[in-house]
Amino acid sequence: MPARVAILNGPNLNLLGEREPEVYGRTTLAQIESACRALADREGLDLTFAQTNSEGGLIDLVQDARAADGIVINPAGYTHTSVALRDALAACSCPVIELHLSNPAAREEFRHSSFTAPVVTGIIAGFGADGYTMALRALLGLINTRQEG
């Protein structure tokens, strides 16, 4: 059975390409999804790719993905605000990679704290749109290691 992986995106990421391009780049979320789907097809992964602007919607997506083999999540602004999202991620037993296009640690003070970072397996930040395929590769490595172990 192919490994099931979910890539989940939080608020405002639907605007990638036009939103603050000097920070987030010009690649759209649809282009990111295509790159991820191409990699998933090559690696034989069953990929779900989703985006929502609402906090509850993102929590529902995390809960739906709990049965998957791995999750990549860009929680966007909810990284810095949401105890409820953190609790949803803490309830996942599969590996979770938190992803940011920018490097929040190098930005405004309010982005330096993350509710989600302590409950995820690892973080990829600062590599722009390429971070998504990097995260997917990292997740694949974690899933393969788990299957071997």
Within 92-111, the residues that bind ligand DQA by CB under 6 A are 100-102, 104, 111
| Least distance CB 100 / ligand DQA (angstroms) | 4
- Token pair for 34: 């295509």
- Regarding 31 and contact with ligand DQA (CB under 6 A), the answer is no
- Regarding 82 and contact with ligand DQA (CB under 6 A), the answer is no
- Token pair for 120: 């995820």
Active-site residue, 78 included: no
| CA torsion angle 123 142 39 4 (round to 10) | -110
Residue with the two structure tokens 């966007």: 76
Active-site residue, 132 included: no
For residues 101 and 131, is the Cβ–Cβ distance under 8 A?
Answer: yes
| Least distance CB 143 / ligand DQA (angstroms) | 23
Active-site residue, from 80, 100, 112, 132? 100
Question: Buried b vs exposed e over 46-82: b needs ≥16 C-beta within 10 Å?
Answer: ebebebbeebeebbebbeebeebbbbbbbbbebbbeb
Within 48-77, the residues that bind ligand DQA by CB under 6 A are 74, 76-77
C-alpha closest to that of 129 among 21, 7, 32: 32
- Regarding 128 and contact with ligand DQA (CB under 6 A), the answer is no
- Regarding 142 and contact with ligand DQA (CB under 6 A), the answer is no
- Report the catalytic residues: 24, 100
Residues that bind ligand DQA (CB under 6 A): 12, 74, 76-77, 79, 100-102, 104, 111
